[in-house]
Amino acid sequence: MRLVTAAEMRALEVAAEAAGVSTAQLMENAGLGVAQEVWMLLGALEERRILVLAGPGNNGGDGLVAARHLHDWGAEVGVYLLRRRPADDPLLAALRDRAVTVVAAEDDPSFATLDEFLSVAEVIVDALLGTGLSRPIEGTLAEVLRRVQRAHERPVHPRIVAVDLPTGVDPDTGRADPLAVAADLTVALGEAKVGLYVGQGAALAGRVQVVEIGLPATVERPAGIELLDRTWAKRHLPARPADANKGTFGRVLVLAGSQFYVGAAALAAAGAYRVGAGLVTLAVPRSIQAMVAARLAEATYLPLDEQDGALAAAVAPRVRDALKGYDVLLIGCGLSMAAAEAVRAVLFGLGGVELRGVVIDADGLNALAAVEGWADRLPARAVLTPHPGEMARLTGWTVHDVQADRLSTARTFAQRWQAVVVLKGANTVVAAPDGRVWLSPFANPALATAGTGDVLAGAVAGLIGQGLAPAEAAACAVFLHGMAGDAARGELGPAGVVASDLLPELPRAIKSLVEPAPLTAPGGLFGPGLGGLPGLGGLGGPGLAGLPGLGALGGPPATPP
């Protein structure tokens, strides 16, 4: 699913107006889509009490349109304005004609009327700011949000439906004001905003439902940011022809392990095998070969000389010669910084060796970061897989700087370094050198445990070995890894999952994409639902409910029920 920044969405709206679709029409369609989603959330509207909080801008206008439809469909609607709107506002006039109660905050200095609304509301429609956040929240808006938060914390509390974005969430970075209130449902208008899937925004958005607002098909959409989903992953899975042999599915050399981190080598190699690699060879220090082999019977081995329990720098020529028989190099998992010279000798000496890709992880990245100008010496088709701490070392930034805008950080340095960057963490970001970005929908605390990154690095290498381009292989591996993590959490819970639990789940994830489960199976983890109906998220597409006139397909009609 495509994601847009606030600037990209504004450009789409300007292009739509140039194509003959007015802002008023976009607002009418948006408000209808919001009202339909509220209708589906409640199941019935007659005598249901709904509070619409409306800001002074277009987001507030969307809320006023929604209020009109909800009233016409039988709900008891109250509207609370953050500031008075112009007296000749036609959206307000339509509500007054229907005798809908409309109160402005200026006329409610003690907020008594707001408290009265909040005490009875079953749903609160948050149409205060949307993408209009430009500074810290203060004043009247701050007090309104405090009272909404208190209402939402009651044992029996109203559900909150955010229009486009929860108020206080930055549309591009997901950073949130401390007063931002979590939504149960966010109705994204036209296109989902990046901030709904990164940073704090991902936790505050609740379920995200995209509704159509009438942007013409002729308006060119930005193609730079994409939310990974099942449809994308299935389309990019490598083919598995019946007449294949192990060479068909790629040969991966994994340079990994030390006496300090024996398991990392086994996890990385197993990760490559579990996504379908044909042959995986582990290049490891001689002293740990037997220990690794006891855990992984399927790998072949290239025992290497060592010094103080880690690979010696002198192994580089042997590794280079061996690589002539392989398609992919994965380097770094569990090597320790004692092998930094060996890592640099291998990576900086690959000229003339043709590989489909080079995946650099963990201490491979740390070894690079210690050398000035390392990016100019990267091998071709490199994939870097840093966690935030490693990314900070590579960039010279702080972890806080990296995490402040993960998407922009990954994209900027992927282009600067001319390498694929996989910035790991909740909602992992995959950025390609050409500016394309993929965002993982998964944020799973069960994956916050040692070794899961080794499995991911192995999966990236295994998919490159099967012929995927490095960027697509990285994005596909991130999605499969997320699916595996969710499956492990579903079976074992959010605590206690270990990295090896992911390994059998990887082929099951692939199988579930190739052989989809019936429509009755839950799928909301992997995409927004069809028409907002829970349990159909696996279809991975935006809802039909927001389309005017298609009420029978998943939303209420455009006229009162």
What φ, ψ does residue 50 adopt, rounded to 5°? -130, 130
> If one looks up domain 230-238+247-514 in CATH, what number appears?
3.40.1190.20
Please check the confidence at residue 132 and state whether its pLDDT lies above 90.
Answer: no
What φ, ψ does residue 13 adopt, rounded to 5°? -65, -40
437-484 tens-digit pLDDT: 999 999 999 999 999 999 999 999 999 999 999 999 999 999 999 999
HEC per residue, 17-51: HHCCCCHHHHHHHHHHHHHHHHHHHHCCCCCCEEE
Banded pLDDT at 308 (limits 50, 70, 90): confident
Which residue spans of the chain are classified as CATH 3.40.1190.20?
230-238+247-514
Q: Which residue has the higher pLDDT, 531 or 408?
A: 408
Please check the confidence at residue 537 and state whether its pLDDT lies above 90.
Answer: no
Please check the confidence at residue 559 and state whether its pLDDT lies above 60.
Answer: no
State the burial class of residue 312 (Cβ atoms within 10 Å of its Cβ: 0-12, 13-18, 19+).
middle
Alpha carbons within 13 A on the beta-carbon side of 560: 10
Q: Which of 125-162 are b and which e, b meaning 16 or more Cβ less than 10 Å from the residue's Cβ?
A: bbbbbbbbbeeebeebbeebbebbeebbeeeeebbbbb
What is the four-CA torsion angle of 383, 387, 392, 393, rounded to 10 degrees?
-70
393-445 tens-digit pLDDT: 999 999 999 999 999 999 999 999 999 999 999 999 999 999 999 999 999 99
CA distances from 281 to 76, 245, 398, 503 (A): 67, 16, 36, 17
Q: What pLDDT shows up at residue 516?
A: 62
> Average pLDDT in the 102-130 region?
96
- Pick from 468, 457, 13, 480: which is nearest to 216 by CA? 13
The answer to whether 354 and 328 have CB atoms below 8 angstroms apart is no
Please check the confidence at residue 541 and state whether its pLDDT lies above 50.
Answer: no
36-49 tens-digit pLDDT: 999 999 999 998 99
Please check the confidence at residue 522 and state whether its pLDDT lies above 70.
Answer: no
> Average pLDDT in the 332-356 region?
95
Q: What percent of the chain has pLDDT over 90?
A: 87
pTM: 0.86
Please check the confidence at residue 148 and state whether its pLDDT lies above 50.
Answer: yes
Element (H, E) at 127: strand 123-127
For the chain, give the mean pLDDT.
Answer: 91
Q: What pLDDT shows up at residue 543?
A: 38
**Whole-angstrom distance between the N-terminal and C-terminal Cα of the chain?**
31
Q: What pLDDT shows up at residue 217?
A: 86
> Average pLDDT in the 208-214 region?
96
- Pick from 363, 106, 354, 127: which is nearest to 258 by CA? 363
Banded pLDDT at 130 (limits 50, 70, 90): confident
> Average pLDDT in the 91-119 region?
96
> Average pLDDT in the 536-541 region?
36
Q: Report the relative pairing of strands 159-163 and 185-189 from DSSP bridges.
A: parallel
Q: What pLDDT shows up at residue 219?
A: 84
3-222 to CATH, choices 1.25.40.10, 3.40.605.10, 3.40.50.10260, 3.40.50.970: 3.40.50.10260
Which residue spans of the chain are classified as CATH 3.40.50.10260?
3-222
Rounded to an integer, what distance in angstroms lies between the CA atom of residue 353 and that of residue 323? Answer: 7
Please check the confidence at residue 247 and state whether its pLDDT lies above 50.
Answer: yes
Per 3-state DSSP, the chain is made up of helix, strand and coil in percentages (nearest 5) of 45, 15, 40
What φ, ψ does residue 208 adopt, rounded to 5°? -105, 130
Q: What pLDDT shows up at residue 470?
A: 98
Tokens standing for 72? 């016409």
* Residue 147 identity (one-letter amino acid): R
264-297 tens-digit pLDDT: 999 999 999 999 999 999 999 999 999 999 999 9
* Residue 380 identity (one-letter amino acid): A
Four-residue CA torsion sign, 117, 118, 124, 126? positive
Alpha carbons within 13 A on the beta-carbon side of 111: 14
Q: What pLDDT shows up at residue 518?
A: 59
